[in-house]
């Protein structure tokens, strides 16, 4: 199998993933996943697409992640892995990934701050007199 690449985004994080046959090694920005994502919940999020398809020990994954926070990066990586698995074998993996919602891009972004007020929606306190 040749190397398959895919792209995942969440908030302002972008994850580029390169999937090849192997034994389940996940490398992120040149570091092991355990060193990059310190929390167990974030590692669980990254592995979700592989767990649900039962391919955790079949593929080696090399990822480049840029931008955003640590949670957004983990969710962007999950989307990229799910998209790459669909490219590997569409008939086998797509229905399972789609029914669990791993192929849907979460399009929510941070709303920008407006001029003349302290936040995006927050206004300064109103004083009648």
Q: What is the DSSP string of 17-46?
A: EEEEESSS-EEETTEEHHHH--SHHHHHHH
Asked if pLDDT for residue 1 goes beyond 90, the answer is no
Question: Tokens 């190397």 — which residue?
Answer: 3
> pLDDT-based confidence at 90, cuts 50/70/90?
confident
pLDDT digits (tens, 9 = 90+) for 52-85: 999 999 999 999 999 999 999 999 999 999 999 9
CB 85 within 8 A of CB 53: yes
Position 84 scores a pLDDT of 95
Asked if pLDDT for residue 4 goes beyond 80, the answer is yes
d(CA 20, CA 32): 16
Kindly report the average pLDDT of the chain as a whole number: 94
Position 83 scores a pLDDT of 96
């Amino acid at each position: 199998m040749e190397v398959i690449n895919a792209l995942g985004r969440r908030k302002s994080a972008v994850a580029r993933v390169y999937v090849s046959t192997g034994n389940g090694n996940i490398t992120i920005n040149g570091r092991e996943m355990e060193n990059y994502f310190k929390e167990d919940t974030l590692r669980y999020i990254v592995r979700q697409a592989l767990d649900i398809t039962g391919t955790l020990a079949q593929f080696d994954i090399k990822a480049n992640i840029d931008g955003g926070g640590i949670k957004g990066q983990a969710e962007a990586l999950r989307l990229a892995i799910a998209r790459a698995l669909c490219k590997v074998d569409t008939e086998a993996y797509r229905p399972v990934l789609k029914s669990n919602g791993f192929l849907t891009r979460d399009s929510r972004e941070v709303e920008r701050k407006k001029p003349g007020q302290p936040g995006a929606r927050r206004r300064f306190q109103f004083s009648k007199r």
